[in-house]
Amino acid sequence: MSAQDQERKIRVLVAKPGLDGHDRGAKVVARALRDAGMEVIYTGLRQTPEMIAEAALQEDVDVVGLSILSGAHMALLPRIAELLRVDGMADVIIVAGGIIPDEDVPALEAAGVARVFGPGTPTDEIAAFIQGAVAQRRPA
């Protein structure tokens, strides 16, 4: 028979928590992930952690990608990870990008962020990381 069983699509929520108004990076990543065959739900600027967690829940995403340049990452990212856990979505992979100093990365990882991508990361690398991480989580 013709191949009916499409592979399960990876769904990614791309959001910008906090108050900075720079969404170019988030848009570039959203587009790159779409071009890598993923379904990307883009929610745009100035999202509260609650809005992001609720959107992730309704959209039943595999991955939440967060872009943050305001410097408030140490407050916002752990809060989002916590809300996802409370909502029963501890298995959702959280990745972050933007302006995040190296010394903050270990604390963010401990808080549940799977990977932090710095400025200039090739978008292929982000897509490859997500594909690998999702493949690991899903039962074979």
Partner 1 sequence: MPAGDTAAALVERLLQGDRRALAQAITCVENGETAAGELLAALYPHGGRAHVIGVTGSPGTGKSTLVGALARAYRGRGLTVGILAIDPSSPFTGGALLGDRLRMRDLAGDAGIFIRSMATRGSTGGLSRMAADAVHAIDAAGFQRIIIETVGAGQDEVEVARLAHTVIVVEAPGLGDDIQAIKAGILETADILLVNKADREGAEQTIAALRMMLELRNGTPAVVAHHGAMMAAPATAPSRQEDAWQPPLIATVATEGRGIAETIDAIEAHRAHLTGTPEGREAEERRAEAQLDRALDEALRRLLAEKVDAATYRQAVEDIARRRRDARATAEQLVELLRSRGD
Binding to partner 1 (CB under 8 A) within 44-103 occurs at 44, 47-48, 50-51, 54-55, 57-60, 87-89
Beta-strand pair 93-98/11-17: unpaired
| Interaction of residue 134 with partner 1, rule CB under 8 A | no
Size of the site for partner 1 (CB under 8 A): 35
Say which amino acid occupies 83: L
| Interaction of residue 133 with partner 1, rule CB under 8 A | no
| Interaction of residue 33 with partner 1, rule CB under 8 A | yes
Which CB sits closer to partner 1, 30 or 96?
A: 30
| Interaction of residue 41 with partner 1, rule CB under 8 A | yes
Q: What does the alpha-carbon distance between residue 98 and residue 70 come to, in Å, rounded to a whole number?
A: 9
Angle (CA) 10 12 18, round 5° = 170
At 101, list the tokens.
Answer: 């100093």
At 75, list the tokens.
Answer: 């407050």
Give the binding site for partner 1 (CB under 8 A): 1-2, 4, 6, 8-9, 11, 30-31, 33-44, 47-48, 50-51, 54-55, 57-60, 87-89, 139
